[in-house]
Amino acid sequence: MIPKNGKEKRDGYAVITGGAGFVGVNVAQRLLAQGTVVRIFDNLSRPGVERNLQWLVGDHGERVSVMVEDIRDAPAVRKAVHDAHQVFHFAAQVAVTTSIQDPVRDFEINVGGTLNLLEALRALKNPPPLLFTSTNKVYGGLENLALREEATRYAPVDGSIAEYGIPESTPLIFHSPYGCSKGAADQYVLDYARMYGIPAVVFRMSCIYGPRQFGTEDQGWLAHFFIRALENRSITLYGDGKQVRDILFVDDLVDAMQLAICNIDRLWGRAFNIGGGPSQTTSLLEIVDLIEDLHGYRPAVRFDTWRPGDQRYYVSDIRNFSNLTGWAPQVGVREGVARLSRWLKELRSEKPASLVA
């Protein structure tokens, strides 16, 4: 079906579910700076998000509308989007470990909450563009990917994977309740685009980092490493620390999201792998080295067993999205990590209490 929205100019709010979180507040800040009014829909359950919200409202005042509600509450979701002109869906249960402990809650938030949003949009006469953030976990553990072990990282044997990364054509293999719930939501969004004409696009994201990220061991690992180092606490590496990820600075992600909304007529109904790509890769061990380089001391490191579904190598093949929009990451690993480190130091100076959840 053809999306109902076309290029028609809209009035109303940019709605961001999970909008007080790390990615949400950075998207909101960009939109507000551009003159867009924003509605934040968030239950404020994640540690640190109240500070993000205070910062946002402090800068922009009444141009930020806040709904402290839960994505599982269908009437609240309908109320939030009734006058939306664009929607960013970030509200989620975000940790593999938490999903293993409580798979029912994980399902209710990630699948049920997404279905609530899709149904609310389907009920509108002219549904707004929707951007949904999925995850690289939809590809499972990539156990069949042949790798060679190097001093500080794994590297793919396949030359194409080494040059370009993991493409969207990679088979979906949902691993862990979190992988299943995010994967199911990913597929629901794509099918609602196909069946009901919802103008939606899916980002299967790699590791995003930057200011306003209150990282924990389960989610936002890069910020978590720096927080631990700042507090002279040890870092736990699960596995051998040679796992490779492409990391993407949050400003580059926001650029990509805005391009996705602007180009929704060409992109709707598609999923894209979004990350730093082959030029922005690091391993866990290499980040520890970078912490030492930037801070002048090396944090203590301990090792623990591999976690379920942990990919030894994941780097996004970003060519499809880049070719369609001209987007490319601009912030290099060292520059971006240094900017995150500076923000965390400034935050720590503002509040002596622990930054670790």
- The helix (run of H) or strand (run of E) holding residue 321 is helix 319-325
| Active site (annotated) includes residue 154 | no
Q: Alpha-carbon distance 273 to 7, whole Å?
A: 25
Q: E strand or H helix at 319, and its extent? A: helix 319-325
Distance, in Å, from the CA atom of 299 to the CA atom of 289, rounded to the nearest integer, reads 9
Cα distance between residue 30 and residue 16, in whole Å: 12
Backbone φ, ψ for residue 248 (5° rounding):
-130, 125
3-state secondary structure at position 134: strand
- For the record, the structure tokens of 343 come out as 């923000």
Q: Which two tokens stand for residue 262?
A: 């602007």
Asked whether 289 and 152 are in contact (CB, 8 A), the reply is yes
Residues in the chain: 357
Using CA atoms, how far residue 300 sits from 142, 287, 352, 356, in Å, is 30, 13, 22, 16
**Closest alpha carbon to 13 in 70, 74, 66, 68:** 66
Compute the distance between CA of residue 9 and CA of residue 72 in angstroms, rounded to an integer: 30
**Which of 88, 80, 26, 97 has its CA nearest to residue 252?**
26
Q: In angstroms, how far is CA 283 from the centroid of its own chain?
A: 19
Helices (H), 157-262: 159-164, 176-196, 221-230, 250-262
Give the Å distances, CA to CA, from 76 to 57, 68, 80, 250, 327: 21, 10, 6, 28, 35
Catalytic residue among 13, 154, 164, 178: 178
Q: Which active-site residues does the annotation give? A: 178
